Amino acid sequence: MDTTATSAPAHHRSQRTDNYAGHDYYGVDELLTEEHLLARDAVRDWVKQEVSPIIESYSDKAECPMHLFKQLGDIGAYGPSLPTKYGGGGMDEIAYGIIMQELERGDSGIRSMASVQGSLVMYPIFKYGSEEQKMKYLPKLGSGEFIGCFGLTEPDHGSNPSGMVTNLVDDGDAYILNGAKMWITNSPIADIAVVWAKDPEGKIRGVIVEKGMKGFSAPEIKGKLSLRASITGELVFEDVRVPKKNVLPEIASLRGPLSCLSKARYGIAWGAIGAGLDCYDSALRYSLEREQFGRPLAGFQLQQKKLAEMITEITKAQLLAWRLGSLANKGKATSAQISMAKRNNVAMALDIAREARQIHGGMGITNEYPIMRHMTNLETVLTYEGTHDIHLLITGHDITGIQAFS
Amino acid sequence: MKILVCISKVPDTTAKISFTDNNTAFNTSGVQFIMNPYDEWYALVRAVELTEDGKGETTVINVGPAANDAIIRKGLAIGADKAVRVDAEPKSTHQVAEEIANYAKDKGFDLILTGKETIDYNGSELGAMVAEMLDQPYVSYATHMEVEGTTASIKRDIEGGVELLEVDLPAVVSAAKGMAEQRIPNMRGIMMAKRKPLETVPASAGAEHVAVKSYELPAAKGSVNLIDAENMDELVRLLHEEAKVI
Ligand SMILES: Cc1cc2nc3c(=O)[nH]c(=O)nc-3n(C[C@H](O)[C@H](O)[C@H](O)COP(=O)(O)OP(=O)(O)OC[C@H]3O[C@@H](n4cnc5c(N)ncnc54)[C@H](O)[C@@H]3O)c2cc1C
């Protein structure tokens, strides 16, 4: 795969213009700073220029637009809220959320590229890594020179990661790593993988596995009907010798990977609003232009009900995300609060995609419009980073004190 | 090298245009504003290219109210080193030019850049007025510009060809498509923009000589009259008698 190209080849470009305009029914923009708005407009411009013209083609062919990894680094989409010293952007959590929203407005797969790199690879190295590990990996990950992936899920352990079987055996100055990870975003193209495995004492440790280590392979998972512009694979470890200096020293429990997931889920709570907004924007435009029975579709009560409910749900999701962002800026957002926002906002976006699909009639099933792509993408978003069900059980646990999922 | 770039605020290209106050003022309600694209994509980016990495200093200037600060910050995020806002409501090109010339006259700028026009009033007047007020040479619609010492080499498109010019600095130049390529600010630039100086100076321009009496919108598009392809005579008759085009 070509990782050096800086732009998409011509056969992936479409002439369609992206007329997206944001929607802000409750004036949430007034709650944002100048810096947030600048970040939002910059990423929106970038998406219109670099993502919208090519995304249908890449998604259709199930190819990953590799040239965008570097560009995402250039605009500063990897770890925007990490310190600049370590390749981040030094911004606040709301800026991070807004960037994810604009990326996902383009495509959930593009947002996933950025989420995984920033929140699941850079964040654990930043939070739990040694100074040497930080200096070695973070600047290169932040610029997009390195691509990273995050291995937690296993073939037999999805919602239940604590049951993982991937393990480390002590071998002097190294560990011997065995096991397999499944459904790993970016794995076939990654330079490094942050892998979670059990040490001889049964504690969950994070290790940095580098491409090319003997016994390590990352085959691609084909046939995905969702998130098609994002590449997904396995991680297979057969007696891989991982030097002890590649172990993240500051963490030895499931709290490690879960804290990364909290960070990424927070971004998804914002990101999903972007996908919902794009579907709503397209449906509103289409229903005003398309006439049946001598008037615009938007003039029929049934269609107005759909549109009015969409903007109501979007507005609620925007307020939820903004409040969550304000809590996160003070370091006060709990993982249960993040679960609630991720669950609500992703389901909201998926519902909107389905309704918007109907408003577009037959045109809605084609790739002339972004609706079906968002809809199928959101099926993954509903499941990864904690399924819709599990997040509900997290809220249930939080309010009753009784854990119902194991 | 010191460059001053004049940036203005214009309605987004998708804005619906209407007027208030007896058709004497543009109705800004519900309108999104952006930096004039000719100022941003061509004049500012070229200035930044010529001055970045320690080669000089780019200042952006805007004549307008405090609400324009958001657009000025964008200029800083794209790469300008500092910014000035002249605190005055812009009413005419002459007034804006006078404010800019008053600010620039003792600052020693080697170049003053503007966009070739604003996308709202399309006057293409500002640069020439500033040049006249400062008694400097002026080149309009530049599509390419290099600077060597105290000389700028400029290309401009003319009917059927390209004109090559050499201009002594200091000078005023208006930038057209081709001068540079749009730069989307990155997050680093946005964060740095917060710490760059944005100075506000009071208005100083004298009396106004031009006042807007009223604006008019073009007539709304009429309905389309379809004539059957078989009925050529009727088409010719309508074109002749009603449309009066043949
Ligand atoms: C495209 C894609 C990319 C991904 N990227 C990554 C990645 O980069 N890194 C990574 O580590 N993982 C990744 N994942 C994995 C993802 O996080 C898992 O798919 C997810 O955690 C669910 O696990 P599972 O698929 O094994 O489903 P299961 O856990 O088998 O769940 C199946 C169903 O059972 C329900 N269920 C499970 N347990 C309970 C319970 N206790 N009570 C009630 N219902 C329950 C679930 O809600 C779900 O509906 C990715 C997945 C996809 C599809």
B241 in a structural domain:
no
- Token look-up 């918007």 returns A356
Would you say the CB of residue A159 lies under 6 angstroms from ligand 1?
yes
Min Cα–Cα distance to chain B from A338, Å: 24
At residue A2, the pLDDT reads: 54
Say if B180 is an interface residue toward chain A (CB within 8 Å): no
| Tens of pLDDT, residues A246-297 | 999 999 999 999 999 999 999 999 999 999 999 999 999 999 999 999 999 9
Return the CATH number at B97: 3.40.50.620
Segments making up each domain of chain A, as ranges: 10-143, 148-246, 255-400
Chain A environment of B67 (Cβ under 8 Å): none
Q: Which residue of B has its CA nearest to A46?
A: B184
At residue B116, the pLDDT reads: 93
Would you say the CB of residue A112 lies under 6 angstroms from ligand 1?
no
Say if A45 is an interface residue toward chain B (CB within 8 Å): yes
Q: Which residue of A has its CA nearest to B68?
A: A34
Query: By the 8 A CB rule, do A35 and B194 touch?
Result: yes
At residue B123, the pLDDT reads: 85
Q: Do B185 and A89 touch (CB under 8 A)?
A: no
B227 in a structural domain:
no
User: Total domain count for chain B?
Assistant: 1
Q: Among residues 344-403 of chain A, which lie with CB inside 8 Å of chain B?
A: none
3-state secondary structure of A98: helix
B75 in a structural domain:
yes
Say if A29 is an interface residue toward chain B (CB within 8 Å): no
Percentage of chain A modeled with pLDDT above 70: 99
First to last CA, chain A: 42
What span, in angstroms and rounded, lies between the C-alpha atoms of A106 and A271?
10
What span, in angstroms and rounded, lies between the C-alpha atoms of B100 and B94?
10
Would you say the CB of residue A196 lies under 6 angstroms from ligand 1?
no
Query: By the 8 A CB rule, do A154 and A182 touch?
Result: yes
Q: Please report the DSSP string for B26-45 in residue order.
A: E--TT--EEE-HIIIIIIIH
Nearest CA residue ID for atom 41, ligand 1: A405
A19, A74, A95: residue with CB nearest B186: A74
Residue-number span of the structural domain to which B66 is assigned = 2-220
Q: Is A154 a catalytic residue?
A: no
Would you say the CB of residue A29 lies under 6 angstroms from ligand 1?
no
What is the average pLDDT across A179-196? 98
At residue A22, the pLDDT reads: 93
Mutate to test the pocket of ligand 1, among A184, A342, A384 (most ligand atoms within 8 A of CB): A384
Min Cα–Cα distance to chain B from A35, Å: 7
* Topology given in CATH for the domain delimited by A255-400: Butyryl-CoA Dehydrogenase, subunit A; domain 3 (1.20.140)
Please state, rounded to an integer, the average pLDDT across all residues of chain A: 96
CB count in 10 Å sphere of residue A248: 20
What is the average pLDDT across A188-207? 97
Would you say the CB of residue A405 lies under 6 angstroms from ligand 1?
yes
Q: Among residues 63-82 of chain B, which lie with CB inside 8 Å of chain A?
A: 69-70, 73-74, 77
Residue (of B27, B25, B7, B24) closest to B15 by Cα position: B27
Q: Is the pLDDT of residue A12 over 90?
A: no
First to last CA, chain B: 59
pLDDT < 70 stretches in chain B: none
- At A7, the pLDDT band (50, 70, 90 cuts) reads confident
Say if B190 is an interface residue toward chain A (CB within 8 Å): yes
What is the average pLDDT across A24-50? 96
Q: Is the pLDDT of residue A1 over 70?
A: no
What is the average pLDDT across A133-155? 97
| Tens of pLDDT, residues A77-99 | 999 999 999 999 999 999 999 99
Say if B46 is an interface residue toward chain A (CB within 8 Å): no
Helix and strand numbers, DSSP H then E, in chain B: 7, 13
At residue A3, the pLDDT reads: 55
What span, in angstroms and rounded, lies between the C-alpha atoms of B81 and B191?
13
CB count in 10 Å sphere of residue A362: 6
Say if B187 is an interface residue toward chain A (CB within 8 Å): yes
Would you say the CB of residue A185 lies under 6 angstroms from ligand 1?
yes
Q: Is the pLDDT of residue A9 over 90?
A: no
Task: Kindly state the tokens that stand for A128.
Answer: 């739990």
Query: By the 8 A CB rule, do A276 and A349 touch?
Result: yes
At the top level of CATH, the class of A10-143 is mainly alpha
| Tens of pLDDT, residues A331-379 | 999 999 999 999 999 999 999 999 999 999 999 999 999 999 999 999 9
- Token look-up 């309905």 returns B223
B29 in a structural domain:
yes
Q: Is the pLDDT of residue A144 over 90?
A: yes
| Tens of pLDDT, residues A111-129 | 999 999 999 999 999 999 9
Say if A242 is an interface residue toward chain B (CB within 8 Å): no
B126 in a structural domain:
yes
What is the ipTM metric for this complex?
Answer: 0.90
At the top level of CATH, the class of A148-246 is mainly beta
Dist. CA A313 → ligand 1 center (Å): 26
Chain A environment of B185 (Cβ under 8 Å): 38, 42
3-state secondary structure of A299: helix
Min Cα–Cα distance to chain A from B76, Å: 11
Q: What is the largest CA-CA distance in chain B?
A: 73
Chain A environment of B70 (Cβ under 8 Å): 34, 37-38
**With b meaning 16 or more CB within 10 Å and e meaning fewer, what string describes B107-133?**
eebbbbbbbbbbbbeeebbbbbbbbeb
B239 in a structural domain:
no
Nearest CA residue ID for atom 22, ligand 1: A158
Mutate to test the pocket of ligand 1, among A64, A117, A154, A159 (most ligand atoms within 8 A of CB): A159
* Cα dist from A368 to A14, A386, B180, B196, whole Å: 10, 32, 32, 44
SS (H, E, C) B79-148: CCCEEEEEECCCCCHHHHHHHHHHHHCCCCCCEEEEECCCCCCCCCCHHHHHHHHHCCCEEEEEEEEEEE
- At A4, the pLDDT band (50, 70, 90 cuts) reads low
Min Cα–Cα distance to chain B from A197, Å: 35
Chain B environment of A19 (Cβ under 8 Å): 14
What span, in angstroms and rounded, lies between the C-alpha atoms of B198 and A244?
51
B245 in a structural domain:
no
B155 in a structural domain:
yes
Dist. CA A386 → ligand 1 center (Å): 6
* Cα dist from B202 to B6, B85, B88, B107, B205, whole Å: 17, 9, 7, 16, 10
B184, B187, B193: residue with CB nearest A45: B184
At residue A13, the pLDDT reads: 86
